[in-house]
Chain A
Amino acid sequence: MVNLGDQHNEETLTIIENFIPKIKHCLHNTDYQEREDLEQEIKLKIIEKLATVRFQDAPSFWDFFS
């Protein structure tokens, strides 16, 4: 995996922490035996995706206004 430095890691960690309630909620989509696995897989996936996906560049703020 690409190492993007401490700042990136910290950001990823914050995102995961903020999403924990959502993750816990989505664990109900599977059987209770599988939930621990799923939780781990989701977190792994988030880390993987945040490191690899290139997010579209934002438009300029002033493009919106005349």
Chain B
Amino acid sequence: MEKDNQKIEDFFYRNNEQVNNPIIKSFLSDSQNLYLVQKAILYPTDINRKLVDESFQSHYKNVRKTKYVSNLIYFFSLDFDKKRRRLRKRSLLILDKGLSEKDGKTAIERIEDASNETEPDNIVGEGLLDNIEDEQLLKSLQKLTVKQLQILEMIYVKELSIKEIAQTLQTTPQNISNLHRKALNKLNNTLRKKGGMTYGEFRRST
């Protein structure tokens, strides 16, 4: 036993430089590997040496892989950022950034407001009346004035706010609200006369 220890120590002493090589050092720091190496030193059979080699190869590969992945993550993150920055610079998304000309306008001011362009005339006919299935309701709706129809359509089909409608028709929100209520009342009366739906049912059906 004493002799064995001497033999192992001798081996490591002779190869002091190699043992301090980081890859060997990390390999030997695993007790299982150290045991295999000691066994191979004492009994240098082919099998024992081969066992050490196999273990060492897998250790070596793991170290390389780890190093590789570690570098990959770091440099990939830098490249990724560079690439994204370049793309962002090329295609600016910020609309209120000043344009290069001297008039001080921003890009967003140049984009025309599409919502103001919708003519009120275009609205009637393409939405509300086409979507009514109930005949009685359709007849009642046709009795309303064009303006009332427009308003109903904008509220229930286009889902605009009262304020937006007032802007489109160039009147006040109060006026729109009044017209809206009158239209509903009128519908309610016509439908009741015919013994059809109630006001509540009308609201639900639109």
Binding site for B on A (CB under 8 A): 15, 19, 22-23, 26-27, 29-31, 34, 37-38, 41-42, 45-46, 49-50, 53, 55-62, 64-66
Contacts and interface: CB of A to CB of B under 8 A. Distances in A.
A55 B56 contact: no
A34 B53 contact: no
Given A19-B69, A19-B73, 7 more contacts: A30-B77, A34-B81, A41-B80, A45-B76, A55-B61, A55-B65, A61-B37
Nearest to B12: A65
Interface residues of B, number: 30
Interface string B11-27: 10011001001001001
| Prevailing SS type, chain B contact patch | helix
Contacts of B49: 62
A15 B57 CA distance: 18
Contacts of A49: 68-69, 72
Contact of A58 (B18, B52, B57, B69): B57
Interface in B71-101: 72-74, 76-78, 80-81, 84
Contacts of B76: 26, 41-42, 45
Contact of A42 (B18, B60, B73): B73
A5 B24 CA distance: 30
B80 A30 contact: yes
Contact of A55 (B18, B53, B64, B77): B64
